[in-house]
Amino acid sequence: MIVAIVGRPNVGKSTLFNRLTGTRRAIVDEYSGVTRDRLYGKGEWNGKNFSIIDTGGYLKNSDDIFESEIRKQVDIAMDEANVILFVVDVTVGITSFDETVAKILRKSDKKVLLVVNKVDNNERIYDSHIFYKLGLDDLFCVSSINGSGTGELLDEIALTDDGVYEEYNSDIPKFAVVGRPNVGKSSLINVLIGEERNIVTPISGTTRDSLYTYYKKFNHEFHLIDTAGLRKKGKVSENLEYYSVLRSVRAIEESDVCLLLIDATRQIESQDMSILSLIKRNNKGVVILVNKWDLIEKETNTAKELTKQIKEKIAPFQDIPIIFTSALTKQRIHKVLEEAIQVFENRKRRITTSKLNELMLEIINANKPPAIKGKFIRIKYVTQLNTYFPAFAFFCNLPQYIKDPYKRFLENKLRENFNFSGCPIQIFMRKK
């Protein structure tokens, strides 16, 4: 499920984003228009997971341009999100820009929640009633800084039906091609589809019109989630990055394995790292494709050196297949599908409890967790959890004292002994 935060600058969108995601990733400042980059993160409430988008930097010099930018941002949010949080500032009251946004949102068939921010005392609760004039029914008074009112807001978000099948019931993998704009997603999808494409049946997997299409090509069969085609090009000419982020978030959530394209001529950049982080937080399989490899002047160890650079940047999750490809020349396209299907199988891999305990307990006894405050930690039992991604529970006497470095040690030992390449692994410590 995708939740989009919209509103004019300086109403507290970034502070609300930080509050809902439990992070401090968004820069917060008293000056308007600080958020220049699109921010996206994960939230969880009452067992419901959702992706949150902070629309961010659309501040322009001209009021007329500014208003048109608001329209574009809100239009795209209405197209792509399940829930729209329209944030206003109780200390300022209703502005002409708020009225413009409200007018657009009233026409939407999506769930719109009017979030009146900076309500940190009883007097401001009374002041918030003026916002009913905007004609939006669901009004929530919150203070993003101290968190008051955000629980009720999250309750309402969690009640939303996102309309997606939770795990599409099929043994056929779902591949999503994701990456920055202009990295070659369309070209790769065209190569995978081909001129004479063998479409057997289009399966409507969601109410949000992403299309799963079944292909049987190159001796493989798979569902492809098409993220490259921009459906409403008139709305995205100046918002390509924002639109790309929304499409990528949705595609990641609906996929089994993500094919993350990076540009060989620019190597791995911050936005690539953000998308990889989102893939990992969603516990999806991933294969990194270094595209446009035909444009690189190569020496003997060029690929080896670039692989090393990429792995250093993506640490500690380094167990990811990296393929150097060219959508233009169709270089290693078969290898891409073979690796993606292997990662799909790795993600479903189940290890018997007896085999896990036989192997891991011996490793743990030889490398025990460090004692803390004179207390010795004893891990007695391990089992794989019944999840759709690799997750393991280690039962011990003092789970609260086991730190991340030791969890990474356990994860590395699991990877050394079982093939989970391309799959994030979750390690849970539980009370014996």
What pLDDT shows up at residue 225?
78
What pLDDT shows up at residue 237?
44
What pLDDT shows up at residue 233?
39
What pLDDT shows up at residue 417?
95
Q: CA gyration radius for the chain?
A: 24
- Residue at token pair 């669901």: 138
- Predicted confidence pLDDT, tens digits, the chain (432 residues): 888 888 887 888 888 888 888 765 444 433 344 333 456 677 888 878 788 877 654 444 445 555 566 666 667 667 778 899 999 999 999 998 889 888 888 888 888 999 999 998 888 898 999 999 999 888 999 998 888 999 999 999 988 876 544 444 457 888 988 887 778 877 787 777 764 333 333 333 332 334 456 677 667 788 887 665 433 334 444 455 555 566 667 778 888 999 999 988 888 888 788 888 889 988 999 999 998 888 888 787 888 889 999 999 998 899 999 999 988 888 888 888 899 999 999 999 999 999 999 999 999 999 999 988 888 999 999 999 998 899 999 999 999 999 999 999 999 999 999 999 999 999 999 997
What pLDDT shows up at residue 264?
86
pTM: 0.65
- Residue at token pair 């993160």: 41
